[in-house]
Chain A
Amino acid sequence: KARSLVRGKFVIEEEDLEGPLHELELALLSSDVEMGVAQEILDNIRDELVGETRTFTTSTGEVVEEALRDAIYDVISVGQFDFDERIAVEDKPVTIVFTGVNGVGKTTSIAKLSRYFEERGYSTVMANGDTYRAGANEQIQEHADALETKLISHEQGGDPAAVLYDGVEYAQANDIDIVLGDTAGRLHTDEGLMDQLEKIDRVVGPDLTLFVDEAVAGQDAVNRAREFNEAAEIDGAILTKADADSNGGAAISVAHVTGKPILFLGVGQGYDDIEPFDPDEMVDRLLAEE
């Protein structure tokens, strides 16, 4: 082999990396990192390492792992900003609209964030833009009651944009700081509903759009993140059900494909089960197993 053994150093050849990178690929896939995203991460690592020298005392595997940590960190920390600071400086009321596919935890995350904001001294109002699903009004009403906050809702079948608009008007008239706008879950393949989302975005013009997805999601996470970001551009994401899953690959997929930061993790069904997202912690978690 064409290794130059000069002063205890090796030059890393492409073929040295084949084994470790293949193992890495499987590890990333086992953590639910989407295949295309995993491939890009591995390509970057390969480009970075080929031709580099490593010392006699470290193995190629170790060098690769170090490079992986950096590569994952770069993806997962993309666009991070200080959320509390952002809320503080925005003109009030701040309107936040929550989007995402069915059943990922949009409504529950709204309830959690209502508590989060109230604890930080802001007043909130919820507006139920889910005028479609059975029991949607009753569900969010129960949250509003438990959290002692106002809910604006219309009859089932009403125009979602109109409800959110009413929420903003209510906040303006009553000096409320933050409007939390829910939307019905929809799959990104439903053109009619994706057009509707675009319209909501246009009519309401939210200050922030947060995309909600679940940490247990697999390879499809990239598809829906991409499509939702296209229909109504997002400012960040919330990853729910992190308590059910120790993989977290969905975080990498969503951050990579949208270039937008993960802002919060949902870690249970209680109102306090929400944590600011910490990229370092997520990298540790991803690299913990193998």
Chain B
Amino acid sequence: MVLDDLGSSLRGTLDTLRGKSRISEEDVEEIVKEIQRSLLSADVDVSLVMELSDSIKERALEEEPPAGTPARDFVLRIVYEELVGLIGESTELPLEEQTILLAGLQGSGKTTSAAKMAWWFSTKGLRPAVIQTDTFRPGAYDQAKQMCSRAEVDFYGNPDNDDPVEIARTGLEETSEADVHIVDTAGRHALEDDLIDEIEQIEGVVEPDTSLLVLDAAIGQGAKEQASQFDESIGIDGVVITKLDGTAKGGGALTAVDQTDSSIAFLGTGEEVQDVERFEPNGFISRLLGMGDLGQLAERV
């Protein structure tokens, strides 16, 4: 795969630094260029990549590597720190009563993620319920209902009602015994003004504690505009990245986190309800750059 090649070329560049303790400006330029390429082929926003590589370059030239640290490890640590600084820790989700609203583009994986997250909360001893407000997509009600029965969690939907706002309101009442309410919504994108209005209304009724943007790992540069529009209309507190079982690196999520000043909550890694993980920065960053365990290295330096 392309990124693996880039990953190995990055490793190659860094290997030439092994053993050197002083880094020349040329060396830094070279590495920064490779890092740029890795991030760009992971779908990170182009201008964000430029910003990141500027600060990496600046730090690598200005900071003094700790005595005895190989130059290569020193630069890698800077890269890791910059990326961790940007994405931070997993979105905070207390194990208590709460309401979560899911939003995102058509087909990004909202309905599947709703059932997955419900399943995840149920393994933590909480009682979750999924409320399906998608009245638009054919089969949306049946899909969500079947996924929830696989996850063995409560479900509310109403195939005879075509008002998502009303379904959201009734759904919250009907599932009042549940601790965690997860509200699924129909797919929409930033340019669909009427649908953006609609989700603002749903948000108004649901009053979520957390609104999550569900993003396909393969999304390209459009992630920026989508994220900023959803953030503007309902306020995004976190991102769910889906379909990470493929080869896409999920750089769009990094862009989204930067745009919305939020963090990543969950990772989706398959079509079944158990195929879900809480976000963990080290693995994600290593995947993004196509390299091994960077966190461990950064800690060692």
Contacts and interface: CB of A to CB of B under 8 A. Distances in A.
Interface of A: 26, 29-32, 34-36, 101-105, 132-143, 146, 187-190, 214, 216-224, 241, 243-245, 247, 249-250, 269
B46 A30 contact: yes
Contact of A269 (B46, B136, B143, B247): B136
Closest 7 CB pairs of A and B: A218-B220, A135-B143, A139-B139, A103-B107, A142-B138, A244-B189, A134-B146
A247 B137 CA distance: 25
Interface of B: 1-2, 37, 40-43, 46, 105-109, 136-147, 150, 189-191, 216-222, 226, 243, 245-249, 251-252, 271
Contacts of B109: 102-103
A218 B190 contact: no
Given A138-B139, A244-B189, 19 more contacts: A102-B109, A103-B216, A134-B142, A135-B140, A137-B139, A138-B143, A146-B138, A218-B218, A220-B43, A220-B246, A222-B2, A224-B218, A241-B106, A244-B105, A247-B220, A247-B222, A249-B221, A269-B106, A269-B136
Contacts of B146: 134-135
Contacts of B221: 29-32, 218, 247, 249
A103 B108 contact: yes
A216 B46 contact: no
Contacts of A136: 139, 143
B142 A135 contact: yes
Nearest to B139: A139
Contacts of A102: 107, 109, 243, 271
B2 A223 contact: yes
Contacts, number: 150
18 contacts: A29-B40, A102-B243, A102-B271, A133-B271, A134-B142, A134-B147, A135-B140, A139-B139, A139-B143, A141-B138, A143-B138, A218-B248, A220-B246, A220-B249, A223-B2, A244-B105, A244-B191, A249-B220
A218 B219 contact: yes
Contacts of A141: 138-139
Contacts of A243: 189, 191
A241 B249 CA distance: 21
A105 B222 CA distance: 18
A26 B251 CA distance: 16
Contacts of A223: 1-2, 246-248
Contacts of B147: 134-135
